[in-house]
Every structure is written in structure tokens, then in C-alpha cells.
Amino acid sequence: MTKGFPILETDRLLLRQFKKTDLENVFKGLSHPDIIKYYGISFKSLEATKEQ
């Protein structure tokens, strides 16, 4: 039996598998200088984000 990605939801949080519609927001966050200084990963293009 194959299990799907679990969805965890509270009043303030929804944790779910990424969707194609999330791609642009992920790129915006992981290419912004004020954000990537705290992460070990960054992307220079939308295509590089999609590949990851």
C-alpha cells in the first residue's frame, strides 16, 4: 500500500506537499537576499527552483 504525503492542519498552519502553483513563491523566498542569508540554499532562476 502506498501512502500519500500527509497533510497537517491547524487553525494557523497548513503543512502539505508542494504544488506547481507554489513554485513562484518558493523562488521569491529562496532568491531574496534577506531570506537566503539564513538558509544553505538559494535559487537564481525559476527553472532552477523547479528542478530542485
Give, for all 52 residues of the chain, the pLDDT tens digit. 568 899 999 999 999 998 999 999 999 999 999 999 998 889 999 999 998 8
pLDDT score, position 1: 59
| Angle, CA 15 vertex, CA 35 and CA 39 arms, to 5° | 20
Task: Give the per-residue pLDDT at 38.
Answer: 92
| Domain assignment of residue 2, yes or no | no
Q: Is residue 27 part of a domain?
A: yes
Residue at 44 is within a domain: yes
Residue 32's pLDDT is what?
93
Range of the domain at 26: 17-51
Residue 45 has a pLDDT of 93
The answer to the question of residue 1 being in a domain is: no
Whether 32 is covered by a domain: the verdict is yes
Residue 3 lies in a domain: no
Q: What is the count of structural domains for the chain?
A: 1
**Residue 40 confidence (pLDDT):** 86
Residue 29 lies in a domain: yes
